[in-house]
Structure 1
Amino acid sequence: MLFRGKQPEASIWRRFRASSDGFTFVQEDGVYTAHIVANAERVVDLFWTLTDLLGPAVDVHIDDLRSGRSWRGESLPLPDVRDTMARLRLLLARYGGIQISVFTSEDQISLNEHLELFIYSKSDKWLYLLEGRGLEEMSHVQTKSWKIKRQSFPAAPDLVNALASAAEKLGLTRG
């Protein structure tokens, strides 16, 4: 097959993404909120990728719905947090059931237990950043139809152990 001219470059996720990949973006009382829905791997990857746009020191809160444990840390170096979260990405996408928030005084990026991503910010910069990542703004998004109760997440000992190890590595405190 012979191609003429320059062909547009397309990444794999853009070619094979689900049509439901998108986000809502609203502003209320000076806070901009984005709710992003896509497949599990894409949402977890976006969570990790977008944290790189936060400041050099971040606060972290993790809530493990399986074990009932939670951890928090303040003014942690962003590269350390991202490195630790990178090691958890595969397990997070596979099992869910964990709430993670990484935030500064201006922005908060949260991954919920149903693998939906939320961004809260004092500015509208995230609208342009999400569109730049190929997501489509929608008037409403289709949330996960498989949502289950907090207590009903299936056992995932690999994730629970990896999460406890990550919290220890970052020096997070229980609570």
Structure 2
Amino acid sequence: MTAKSKKTRYALLLISLGFFGYCLWLSIRPVNIIAAHHREYGFSSVLVRNFPFTDKGKIDWWLKNKDMLKEKYDIPKPDKDGSFTVTFWLFGEGYKEGDGYDRLCFNDMPPPLNCIDKDAAFSVSNSKNLGAIFTTYDGKYQLQKNGDIVRFTDEFEFK
């Protein structure tokens, strides 16, 4: 093996280790909850940074932290029939002015800096008929009575 080949191999190994370390660091960072906003009829929004990337990570985070969210932020705040939806929004660049186009604005804050860019990371809904439903960018999942989490398919969803 030539010296150039060894250097190339070591460089690739170093880059791979650096990339793996960076991915590991991203996956273990704690979720930072910036704020929680309530709307009528069982809808709540939670603004977050460092939210998990994977569907499994998001669902696991909810299951581990739902009691803390209830205690600290009164989330979820169910409607009269017990249904609720909690949407986790990536906080991004922070609060912004409403642009009249496609920002999510919160009525419980005074303008002008009371809006965020719409970048939903995850939502949890609960209803009498379906129970807990987790919605991610990649799909929907249902929490079964036995604790299993099953991915919705179009066929299952419309039965």
TM-score past 0.5 threshold: no
TM-score (norm 2): 0.26
Larger radius of gyration: 2
